[in-house]
Amino acid sequence: MVSNLLDLSANPATKEAIVKDAQALVESELANKSGISAGAVKLAYKAVTSFAPGYYTETLNILVPSMLEALQPFWADFQLAGGGSFGDYLVKRQDEVTPALLKVTDDMAHSSEKAVVVKAYNTVRGGASKHIEAALPALGGLVEKYAA
């Protein structure tokens, strides 16, 4: 098992596979959402993927190492604790994990020069915590898939 999650993004083939799986995870999470806040998230996703072709995949390529870095302290603690799944661990620590992951996306949004992307992000940022929390079990599974 990998002890440092950043090692996963050092291998271009592994990073590419993680990016593809991350994109599939986001699309799966979006497909399973309903309601007003889900509509806003789906609209923001469509805006980014329609008005900035290639930007989403490019962004995931940048986000993956940053997300792995944000998850590293939790991964290290999870390995010391032993047992269970990383997804379950993340859910139990969601009050710490969610802000750590949001900091990554907030920083990226603040540095973006694409107004449509920033506007879309700002539209959904208020409800982002609950969407991240819902995705933590799947995110933990994705990390374990590559770290094993």
Q: What is the pLDDT of residue 52?
A: 65
- The pair of structure tokens assigned to 81 is 């604790």
Span 127-135, mean pLDDT?
Answer: 88
Kindly report the average pLDDT of the chain as a whole number: 87
Neighbours of 29 (CB within 10 A): 17
Residue 15 has pLDDT above 70, yes or no: yes
Residue type, 46: K
Residue 36's pLDDT band, with cuts at 50, 70 and 90, is: low
| pLDDT (tens digit per residue) in 49-69 | 776 677 778 888 999 999 999
Residue 122's pLDDT band, with cuts at 50, 70 and 90, is: confident
19 contacts: CB under 8 Å, gap ≥ 6 = 57, 60, 61, 64
Diameter of the chain measured on Cα atoms: 44
CA distance 139 to 22: 8
CA distances to 6, 19, 48, 97, 131 from 111, rounded to whole Å, are 22, 21, 16, 22, 22
Q: What is the pTM of this model?
A: 0.84
Span 77-104, mean pLDDT?
Answer: 95
CA distances to 51, 62, 113, 114, 116 from 135, rounded to whole Å, are 25, 19, 27, 26, 25
Q: Is 133 exposed, middle or buried (0-12, 13-18, 19+ CB in 10 A)?
A: middle
Span 81-103, mean pLDDT?
Answer: 95
Span 106-128, mean pLDDT?
Answer: 80
Q: What percent of the chain has pLDDT over 70?
A: 92
Residue 82 has pLDDT above 80, yes or no: yes
The 8-class DSSP code of residue 33 comes to -
CA distances to 35, 37, 113, 121, 132 from 32, rounded to whole Å, are 10, 12, 30, 20, 13
